[in-house]
Amino acid sequence: VAAAAPPQQSRRHHHQLDICESCYRPERFSVRGNGDGRKESVVVVMGATGTGKSKLSIELSTLFAGEVVNADKIQVYRGLDTTTNKMPAAERHGVAHHLLGDLDPAAGELSPSVFREMAARAIAEIAGRGRVPVVAGGSNSFIYAAMAGRYDPGWSPFEAGWRRRMRRREAETLRHRCCFLWVDVDAATLAEQLDRRVDEMLAAGMVEELARYFEEEEAAEAGETRHPGLSKAIGVAEFREYFRGERRGATAAYEAAVAAIKANTRRLAQEQVRKIERLEEMGWPLRRVDATAAVAARLAGSAAEVEAAWERDVAGPGAAAVEQFLDE
C-alpha cells in the first residue's frame, strides 16, 4: 500500500469512493460516547466473503497503527481454520487480531448482543492504547449490533417490515464514530472467485480438517454436540453425509458436498450484500470501494495487475478515506 493521499486528494477520492450522496448524511448520526463523553473512532471494513476485507483491514492497520477486531460469527471460534478461511498468522503481518479464533466452540453460539459487548470492550481497549480499532468481518448482524447506538435484540434491520418499524424508533445513532468501508465486487465476478476459492480451500486441506472435526464429534457422548459454535460453518453440514452417512467415502457424495458448498457460499455472499445494502438504505454512511478489477485480474492470473488494481481501486481510496476520517 502506498502512502495515503494528501488531504486535497481525499476530497476527490470521495467521489471515486462512490458514496451515495443521498445516503451520506452524517448529521443524522449523533455519535454517542460511553457515558463519559469518550467517542472512539472506529474503522469498519464490510463486504461479502471473498472480496478482500481481511487483506484491506490488515493494510489499513499497518498504515494507521490499527488492530483488527473480527466480526465473523464463525471465525470467532477456535478450529476449522481452513474451512472458515481464517487469515493465517503469517499473512497478518504482525497486526494484532481480536476475537479471532479465541472462543471455545463448545461454548455454543454467540449472540449479537454478546458480540456487541465483546466488541465494545476490544474497541475501548485498543483505542485506550492510542491505536485504531479496525472492525472487519462478514457477519452484518454482528456489525449492526456492535455499531448501533441503541441495540434491541428483538429488532433487526434485516427482517421484513423493518422500514415501518424503524419509523417508530428514535433516530438511529451510532455507538462509535465510524468510518464504514464496503469492499464490493460485481456479483458474477465474485461468484467465479468463490468457486475458485472453494477449490483452493479443498486443496489446502479442508476435507482433512473436516475429517478430524467429525471424528471428534463421533467421539463425543451421544446427543452431545461437540462444537455447537462451529456446526453452522459452511462445509460441516455439506460434508456430513460424506463422513457419516450411508454414502460414506463415495465419490458421488464428495462431489455433491463440493457442489453444495459452492452454492451455499454464493448464497452467503448474496445475503451479505443484501444486508449491507439494507444498512445503507437505513442511512448508515457506507463508503464503497470496488474490488471487481482486482478480483477479475486474479481470476485471469495476472499477479501484477491484481496489485495495481487493488492499490488503485481499493487500498488507495480506502487509505485516503481513513486518513481523512482520522484527521477530522
- Interface residues with ligand ATP (CB under 6 A)? 72-75, 84-85, 138-141, 232-234, 268, 271-272, 275
Q: CB-wise, 41 or 231, nearer to ligand ATP?
A: 231
Distance CA 91, CA 311 (A): 17
Q: CB-wise, 144 or 310, nearer to ligand ATP?
A: 144
- Nearest approach, Cβ of 48 to ligand ATP (angstroms)? 9
- Nearest approach, Cβ of 9 to ligand ATP (angstroms)? 34
Q: CB-wise, 144 or 325, nearer to ligand ATP?
A: 144
Q: CB-wise, 127 or 230, nearer to ligand ATP?
A: 230
Which string of DSSP letters, residue by residue, matches 113-151?
HHHHHHHHHHHHHHHHTT-EEEEE-S-HHHHHHHHBSS-
- Nearest approach, Cβ of 40 to ligand ATP (angstroms)? 23
- Nearest approach, Cβ of 271 to ligand ATP (angstroms)? 6
- Nearest approach, Cβ of 144 to ligand ATP (angstroms)? 8
Q: CB-wise, 26 or 108, nearer to ligand ATP?
A: 108
Q: CB-wise, 232 or 248, nearer to ligand ATP?
A: 232
Distance CA 182, CA 287 (A): 6
Going along the chain, which residue ranges are E strands? 41-47, 66-70, 97-98, 132-136, 177-184, 286-290
Cell of 260: 453444495
- Nearest approach, Cβ of 262 to ligand ATP (angstroms)? 13
Distance CA 45, CA 286 (A): 10
Which string of DSSP letters, residue by residue, matches 64-124?
HTEEEEE--TTTTBSS-TTTTTPPPGGGGTT--EESSS-B-GGG-PPPHHHHHHHHHHHHH
Cell of 307: 496489485
